[in-house]
Chains A and B, each alone.
Chain A
C-alpha cells in the first residue's frame, strides 16, 4: 500500500507525520520526495548512502554534421537552444530533456548525454527502509528527480509512505501519481485552510482517494474541521498543538515520541484508510 502525505502550505507537519508513521508501523519504506528541501533524514538516526544520480538527458551537438540550420533551436519550447553565427548554444538548466531536438535534427547531428541534477540516497535500519532525493542547489526541475526516486519504491514492503513537497503544482502531482491514498496534513489557520482547499481541488481532478490529518489542532480556528464536515472529507486524525511538541521538533524529535498514545491512533487511521481503498 502506497500512501503519500501532502499539504499545500509548507510547514504544516508533513515530515513529522511521515517520520512518526515510519517509526511506528512495521515493514515500512519511507520515501522523502521533497527533493528541494528533504528533511526526513534529520529525524532518523540512520546512515544513508549514495544510490544513484538523478539525471536528465541534454543534447550534444556534433559539429562535423551540424549545418547550423537552426531547426532545433527554433522548435525548442523551453528556449534551451539558441543559434548564434558559429554554433548552437545550450542553456542546460532550461532543458527539460524531452529529446525533441535530437529527433528532428535533419542531419542526425544531435545525441544526448545525461546531466546530473540531484542524487538519490538510501538507508536501512531495523525494519525501516528509507530513500530520499536531493536536488543540487541551483537546479530548477524537481519533477524528474521525484520520478527517478519513485523507481526505488520497493514492492516487497507492506507500506510505503511518501513525504511530498509542499504546494499543488507539478512536483506534488508527480509525487502522488499511482499511490493508493493521499493524506492531506492541514494546519487549522486561514492560510492553512486556503492552501488545503487548492490541494483538495487538485486531488479531486486526479480522482485520488484522500483524507485529512489536522495538525497543531487548537492553534487557530475551527473552520478547517467545519470544511471537512461540510465536504464529507474524512478527518483521519487530530494532533494537538503544544510548545513542547514544537520544541522537540526543533531538535529532530518527532511528535510520536512525546505523545506515545498516537501510535495506537495510527493503527486505527490505517484501518480507516484500508477501508477507503
Chain B
C-alpha cells in the first residue's frame, strides 16, 4: 500500500458526549479488515478501553520545549518575568511548567543566559494490537500543551501503520470543540463524519463545526445520534443542513451503547436477539459501507 493511496476519515462532534467514540468503535469493528483506528482525542482517549490491547508498543512524544531557570546563575533581575506573556514564571523565579508555552522569549532575553530550553516529554503514543487490528492511541500528560502536535503525530503514525499493514483507510476519532486539536485532526482528511444529537446545544455546536468544515473544504456527513430524544430538533437539523452536509443515518436512543461499553465491546460486537439493537447494528454496517462507497474503497 502506497501512503498516497490511504484514505482518512475523521469523526467529530463539536459538542462532547454525543456518542462519537462509541460510534467510531463500531465502524472500526465493522471495517477491521480494511482500516486502522487512530484515537486522536488525546486528552480523553478511551477507545483502548473497549479494544483491550493484547500488546502495546509505547513511544515518548516530545512537545514544545520548556524553559528552566538555572538558579545558580539567576540574579533575579526580573527581565524574564516582564517578558513572559503567559505568566509562567513565579515571583521566586521558577518556571511553572503547566503555564509555559515554550516560546523561549525568556531564554533569548535573559542577560546572563541563565535560562535553558529543555526537551519536554508531553505525552506518549502507542501502537497496539487488538482484536480489531492495530490501534494507534496516545495520552497527553496532564495539563500539557501541544495537543494539536500530538494529534498530528498520532495521525502520522497511524498512516504509516496502515501502509505497513496494507490497509487503505485510517479512521480518526477526534476531540470535542473546534480549536487546535480538532483542526489538527481534520487537516487533509478525505471526509468527516459528524456525530450530533438533537438538543439545542448539539445544534449550536454542530453549526460551528460545520462552518469549520466549510472553511477547510472537507466533505462532511451527519449522523444524528439519539434522534428520538427530540424529533423536532432532529428534523430541524435535517432541514437546515441537509443541502450542504447530508444526513447519513439517524440512530435511536438505546441503553445498549452504555451496556456494550461496560462489557468492553463495541455495539456491533454485542450478541443479541433484541430487535432494536439488531436494527442499530444494521445501521452501523450501512454507515460503514457508506464510508467505503464514498471513498471508492468498496470494490
Contact = CB atoms under 8 A, between A and B. Distances in A.
Contacts of B78: none
A138 interface: yes
A252 B232 CA distance: 13
A122 B127 CA distance: 46
Given A10-B13, A96-B101, A104-B108, 20 more contacts: A7-B16, A10-B44, A10-B176, A12-B16, A37-B178, A75-B108, A77-B65, A97-B85, A98-B86, A98-B105, A99-B85, A103-B105, A166-B44, A166-B177, A168-B44, A170-B144, A195-B46, A198-B43, A205-B142, A250-B200
Q: How many of chain A's residues touch chain B, expressed as a range?
A: 35 or more
A190 B261 contact: yes
B262 A221 contact: yes
Contacts of A100: 103-105, 108
Interface stretch (B3-11, B27-35, B164-172, B207-215): B207-215
16 contacts: A15-B201, A39-B15, A42-B201, A98-B85, A139-B179, A166-B176, A168-B143, A169-B42, A170-B145, A172-B143, A190-B262, A243-B229, A247-B230, A250-B202, A250-B233, A252-B200
A138 B226 CA distance: 28
Interface of A: 7-12, 15, 34, 36-37, 39, 42, 75, 77-78, 96-100, 103-104, 135, 137-142, 165-173, 177, 187, 189-191, 194-195, 198, 201-202, 205-206, 219-221, 243, 246-247, 249-252
Given A11-B18, A42-B200, A103-B83, A220 B258 contact: yes
Given A166-B44, A195-B46, A9 B16 contact: yes
Contact of A137 (B83, B147, B215, B258): B215
Contacts of A103: 83, 105, 108-109
B288 interface: no
B179 A142 contact: yes
Nearest to B210: A137
Q: Is the interface of A mostly helix, strand, loop or mixed?
A: loop
A75 B104 contact: yes
B253 interface: yes
B103 A37 contact: no
Contact of B253 (A75, A243, A249): A243
B85 A220 contact: no
B105 A250 contact: no
A205 B253 CA distance: 38
Nearest to B184: A140
Interface in B140-181: 140, 142-145, 147-148, 175-181
B297 interface: no
Interface in B193-231: 197-202, 204-205, 208, 211-212, 215, 226, 229-230
B44 A140 contact: no
Given A103-B83, A140-B183, A189-B258, A169 B49 contact: no
B264 interface: yes
B98 interface: yes
A32 B199 CA distance: 18
Contacts of A10: 13, 15-17, 44, 176
B143 A206 contact: yes
A39 B204 contact: yes
Contacts of B201: 15, 37, 39, 42, 249, 252
Given A39-B205, A42-B204, A250-B233, A9 B44 contact: yes
A201 to B, nearest CB: 5
B103 A198 contact: no
Given A170-B143, A191-B261, A221-B262, A246 B229 contact: yes
